[in-house]
Structure 1
């Protein structure tokens, strides 16, 4: 863009100078001054425009790269359970598995894989609604403590199965303006993420508090911490973790949580705390 502006300005000045050698031009100084003014005005503008175009092009390339990575990750996550379902159904069809007990085990495993696929598709649909700005929330008064209690109660069997202690502490009883399903999904994503990355014998703590005009939900885990250079990317789409956080799942849960918190005009963040990480959600009080 800068070159496209500079070339005609310089060409015009050169043309004026060449013409002035063949004819007497008393307005030569005025013409040169006009060309100089045009150059002073247009060149900086072209530089700014060129930089803006370059930034947008870079952003589009990064977005395209992120989209391709997400498609690759999702394709892998879809192929894994589909391959298992196909193998088990072929075993049932070919009569390789015929004992009633084995058939029941295979049927249960197929149902689990189907649930995994359903959750993955649901996450993709939710993320597409968030990124497209098509998320319409029905807001009403929500007791945040009730939301946390329901999520913790539903997550306790999973935590117990892994040998992780899950506890909830409510220091206040805040009421926020929000949507129950979306807020439950935010807390559920954070709690399930904390349980998944906390080793056996560790603990996950969920705290509800009030800080000024904001309701605060803190989820502490025992993942061992996240490198400081990785922390800013935790909520990126497709983030799968670092050395301390095993790369499991599609990497959509935290991105969805951030989008839902933003839709409630709140904030979400993460920091290293104690033996692991602390995810903190702040929502304006009613």
Structure 2
């Protein structure tokens, strides 16, 4: 009777439960992720506030760069506060109010958000700022007059026409000082692509710029002389045509083109200090910027009833889809398992195979089950055949002994020495079969004990040859031994003599009179190789796979007297395997047979 599986233990129920649990966890994780994502979006809005703060700082820095004081900054502060929704307050470095978008008397925040100083700006936050940290809108004495501006505009327009005529695309831009310059579409200095016919250089300063550059050079040289420069040293300052750093290009007299790094840094520092001193009267004083707003309250996300209902609906939908998909998948998984279970529950003697319908783990399991069933069927056949062979092997000598004893008891024959010798021979056959079966049973059960000791291969061969010399003489067969070198092995000498003795006995039975049986040993790397060859009838190719099977005989017509019990070679295989070695059979019919034993060798004792 088939045993019913409880509902809670069925694989389908377990899979459904696991899938539902996974779905609940997934939905919960998704909900949490959605909340976190929303919170992150709110934080990104705070990031936008930070961007607004940087714009505020840039606007105020631009005002300071173009005005000598803060007198008219209140209107700009009010506009920025309205646009950004932030409180903006400016004070001196001593916290004296300059301008404030809040009502008068409102307390300032604890700390200033930034310092507004056009001569010391964070250049990486201001597009177009100089590397030395001076706001590019602070031009001071470098601002061109209206006449110079008009002349440069006209000249630049003509040059642009020349550029266009030679296929060079340019655009005119004005830097904060009012100078018109030509840039290529990538925003780079167009003079690098200048045709010689156009004769234009954006580096040539006009009168206003030359005057300011001369003053700057003199101030920078004064600083350099304090650092050890000679009176004959000269400093050349140029205008950068892009306007991003109007004083960044300079050449140091004798160091022009190469320049010493240490001197270059000194020149840069002196030039920067001189430039700030030159621009200082034209820019507003340093001021502290205070920004207010409800920035300290952390963002929150509260789910409304509508959102909760949506989440519950999504959870239910996901659960339903998950259960449906899992049911389909589980059914496909359970169907082959049921077929496999049904095949396993059939009576063993039927040897039922399970259908293999998939190539997944279940299909592999079904194939393994079919393989085990096939092996069990084959072992069952071998067991039946072995029992039949054992019964046959025991029946013949027992029948002979019983028959002779009965006729002797009835007085038909006399118990003479010949009869007693025959009965003794039959009992020896029985004893040999029983001993062989006992050895095989011990090997199958893993209880075959070995008493290992260092064994010399030459001594082992001599003992085996001596034990079979009488049988060899009786069969008119020569037994030869040969050893290459002096190989030793760690083995049970009794079991090794038994294994080699079985092979020699087998060779003597299959070698005709006048033949030869050769037993040899040699060293092969770390192994010792024994070979037993004969000049008998050999083994057919189709019989080679069966020579080590129990009760197998190459000639089915041979009796137990001429063919042995059929257990000798299986015993050899088990004994060699117990020593960690292998045994193989070779040769074709008509050329004799050869058996090779390969066992682990050992070092010669005493070395």
Task: Give the one of 432, 443, 454 matched to 1:141.
Answer: 454
Task: Give the one of 196, 199, 204 matched to 2:509.
Answer: 196
| CA distance in 1: counterparts of 2:466 and 2:386, whole angstroms | 32
In the alignment, is the contact (CA less than 8 A) between 1:223 and 1:275 conserved in 2? yes
Task: Give the one of 4, 13, 33 matched to 2:325.
Answer: 33
Q: Which residue of 1 aligns with 2:435?
A: 122
Report the RMSD for the aligned CA atoms in angstroms: 2.6
Task: Give the one of 497, 519, 522 matched to 1:184.
Answer: 497
In the alignment, is the contact (CA less than 8 A) between 1:142 and 1:177 conserved in 2? yes
Q: SS at the partner of 1:225? A: coil
| CA distance in 1: counterparts of 2:575 and 2:407, whole angstroms | 42
Q: SS at the partner of 1:230? A: helix
| CA distance in 2: counterparts of 1:160 and 1:152, whole angstroms | 11
| CA distance in 2: counterparts of 1:58 and 1:121, whole angstroms | 30
Shift of 1:39: 6.1
Between stretches 114-123 and 163-172, larger displacement belongs to 163-172
| CA distance in 2: counterparts of 1:245 and 1:169, whole angstroms | 31
Q: Which residue of 1 aligns with 2:575?
A: 260
Structure of higher RCO (CA pairs closer than 8 Å, 6+ residues apart):
1
Cα deviation code 1:106-146 (max 9, x no counterpart): 11111111111111100000000001111121211111221
What pairs up with 1:72-151 in 2 under 5 angstroms?
72-98=388-414, 103-151=416-464
In the alignment, is the contact (CA less than 8 A) between 1:73 and 1:238 conserved in 2? yes
Q: SS at the partner of 2:542? A: coil
In the alignment, is the contact (CA less than 8 A) between 1:81 and 1:113 conserved in 2? yes
Q: Which residue of 1 aligns with 2:362?
A: 46
| CA distance in 1: counterparts of 2:582 and 2:547, whole angstroms | 14
- Aligned length in residues: 263
Q: Which residue of 2 aligns with 1:71?
A: 387
Distance 1:172 1:244, change over 3 A: farther
Q: Which residue of 1 aligns with 2:528?
A: 215
In the alignment, is the contact (CA less than 8 A) between 1:235 and 1:254 conserved in 2? yes
| CA distance in 1: counterparts of 2:455 and 2:532, whole angstroms | 19
In the alignment, is the contact (CA less than 8 A) between 1:218 and 1:281 conserved in 2? yes
Normalising by structure 1, report the TM-score: 0.83
Q: SS at the partner of 2:573? A: helix
Shift of 1:246: 7.9
| CA distance in 1: counterparts of 2:559 and 2:439, whole angstroms | 24
In the alignment, is the contact (CA less than 8 A) between 1:223 and 1:244 conserved in 2? no
Q: SS at the partner of 1:163? A: coil
Shift of 1:40: 7.2
- Hey, which of these two has a bigger chunk of helix by percent? 1
| CA distance in 2: counterparts of 1:112 and 1:243, whole angstroms | 23
Distance 1:78 1:246, change over 3 A: closer
| CA distance in 2: counterparts of 1:222 and 1:74, whole angstroms | 30
Q: Which residue of 2 aligns with 1:18?
A: none
Q: Which residue of 1 aligns with 2:472?
A: 159
Unaligned runs of 5+ in 1: 1-7, 13-24
Shift of 1:95: 2.4
Between stretches 255-264 and 162-171, larger displacement belongs to 162-171
Q: SS at the partner of 2:471? A: helix
Unaligned runs of 5+ in 2: 1-10, 16-315, 335-357, 603-607
What pairs up with 1:19-30 in 2 under 5 angstroms?
26-27=317-318, 29-30=321-322
| CA distance in 2: counterparts of 1:233 and 1:224, whole angstroms | 17
Are 1:205 and 2:518 an aligned pair? yes
Cα deviation code 1:143-197 (max 9, x no counterpart): 1221221111111211221222221112232111111111111000100011111
Distance 1:243 1:127, change over 3 A: closer
In the alignment, is the contact (CA less than 8 A) between 1:221 and 1:276 conserved in 2? yes
Cα deviation code 1:197-219 (max 9, x no counterpart): 11222211111111111111100
| CA distance in 2: counterparts of 1:113 and 1:161, whole angstroms | 20
Q: SS at the partner of 2:572? A: helix
